[in-house]
Every structure is written in structure tokens, then in C-alpha cells.
A = this chain, B = another copy of it.
Amino acid sequence: MTDKLTGAAGRQHVADSIRHALRSGDLVPGQRLVENDLAAAYGATRGAVREALQDLAAEEILEIVPRRGARVRTVSVEEAVQITECRSALEQLCAGKAATLATDDQRAELARIGVDMRQAVADGAWEAYSALNQRLHELVIEASGQEVARRTLGRLNGPMVRYQFRLALRPGRPARSLPQHLAIIEAVVGRDPEAAGRAAAAHLDDVIEQLRSSAAPSPT
């Protein structure tokens, strides 16, 4: 076995491991995280675990209450809606800028993603569609050159993993979001900032609607 991870390395490792555990459902909201257990599980020192927990709390993924440890934060539907409203505002900005600033390579990749998305929906390849979806959003943000927005959106997405999961596997969801995604691509590739912003906003407004109609946040 390798030595115990310490400092920056351990900190990063533990934080990533917890994020991953969250995504894969190994950790559920409300669950308590004990420093010693995490240290043993991930082969890090308690100090490293402590710093990692602070980082995750700053991202609002965890909630740490003094003397009582860290818990996985639960995100209400209302908060998920607010997060998505903010994402909408920022992605609208990015889409508009991307329409003006994207390089030819980026426009080409966007077009390719559009083609692949159509195919994925036709084939019922849900995981592939989800990956393309994520890449699309990333690419639009990257093409906008808005580094601050990129970081901010990254922060906002942290606590949302749970909902992304729930929404993605709603029946008929891909068929519904496909035209919205294609509209974003078309506007950005076609150098129409106004339309790009509108398309991005329309897409996320639809996500908000879906969130609102999803009754309870968690059946567990």
C-alpha cells in the first residue's frame, strides 16, 4: 500500500472521492461524514480530510456544523430552481458571447455534437446523450471566453448532481430537450448572439419547469 496522502494531494483526492461517491449514490443527503472513517477509507491523514471537507463546504456540497461534523447537504426543489435560474442567466450570457467569439474549430465541434445528439436520441443511447449534453454546455462556455462565468457555473452545479441524475432519466426527456439543444447550436454556429441567448434561456427555463413538476426531491 502506498503511504498516506497528505496536504494538497490528499485534500484533492479526498474531495474528488467524496464528489464521486455523491454522484454514484454511495453517499446520500443528510448522511454524516466522520473524519477518521474518511481518512481510513481514502488513505489520507485526518488533516487532509479536514481540509477537503472545508473545500466541499465552501462549494455548498456539504454542511458542516461546529462540533457536530459534516453532513451531505440536502437541496430543496426551491433551491434547485434558484440555482437553475442563475445558471440560465449566466449561460445566456455565455451563449451570446460564444456566438460572436467561437473559433471555427469550436463551431465545427458544436455542429458535430448536434449530429451525434440526434443520432443518440434516435438510438435511445441515453448515456451517450447525457455525455454530449454535458460537453455541449462546456463547449459553449469555453467558446465564450468567459472564465469567471465558467468558474461560477462550476460552483453552482456542485450541489445539483442529485437533481441532474433524477431529471436525466425521466422518460421522454431527451426527445424534449433535443430541439432546444439544436437551437442553441444553430444560433452559435450561425453567429446570432441574440438567438443564442434566447435559446439558452429557453432551454433552462424548460429545465426549471421540469424541476418544479418533479414532486419530492428524494424518495429515500
Contact = CB atoms under 8 A, between A and B. Distances in A.
A86 B54 contact: no
Nearest to A84: B148
Interface in A7-52: 7-8, 51
Interface in A75-100: 79, 82-83, 85-86, 88-90, 92-93
A42 B156 CA distance: 33
A206 interface: no
Contacts of A149: 82, 85-86, 89
Nearest to A80: B148
10 contacts: A79-B147, A82-B148, A85-B148, A85-B149, A86-B93, A86-B146, A88-B93, A89-B89, A152-B152, A152-B155
A55 interface: yes
Contacts of A51: 54
Interface of A: 7-8, 51, 54-55, 58, 66, 79, 82-83, 85-86, 88-90, 92-93, 146-149, 152, 155-156
Q: What are the 6 tightest A-B residue pairs by CB atom distance, in nearest-first order?
A: A82-B148, A89-B89, A89-B93, A58-B58, A83-B148, A86-B149
Q: Is the contact region of chain A dominated by helix, strand, or loop, or is it mixed?
A: helix
How many copies the complex holds: the figure is: 2
A59 to B, nearest CB: 9
A200 to B, nearest CB: 11
Contacts of A83: 148
Contacts of A88: 93
Nearest to A197: B89
A85 B58 CA distance: 23
A148 B58 contact: no
